[in-house]
Amino acid sequence: MHGISYCDFWHVTGASTHIDIDNGTVESAGSSFFNRAVIRVLCSRGWGILLLANYARPRGTAFEELLASAACLAAITGEEVNLAPATGGTLSVPEPVEDPRDVSLEEKTSLLAAIERSAKREQVVNTRGTYAERIEQVRFEDSSGSDLSYEICRSGFSVLAVASRNGTIQMGYERQHTIRGLNLRGQEEQGRQAAATAVALLDARAAKGGTMHAVLDPELAGVFAHEAVGHASEGDLVQQGSSVLGGKTGERIGSDTLTIVDDPTLTEFGFEPFDAEGVAVARTEIIRKGVLSSFLHSRETLAAVGNGTPGHARAMPGEPPVVRMSNTFIENGDATYEEILGECKNGILLKGSRGGQVDPGRGVF
Residue 281 pLDDT > 90, yes or no? yes
Q: What is the pLDDT of residue 71?
A: 93
pLDDT digits (tens, 9 = 90+) for 192-221: 999 999 999 999 998 888 888 999 999 999
| Structural domains of the chain, with CATH | 6-201 (3.30.2290.10), 213-350 (no CATH)
Arithmetic mean of pLDDT, 3-29: 98
pLDDT bin (cut points 50, 70, 90) of residue 139 is: very high
Residue 168: φ, ψ to 5°: -90, 130
pTM, two decimals, is: 0.92
For 44, list phi and psi in degrees, rounded to 5.
-65, -25
Give me the pLDDT at residue 135, please.
98
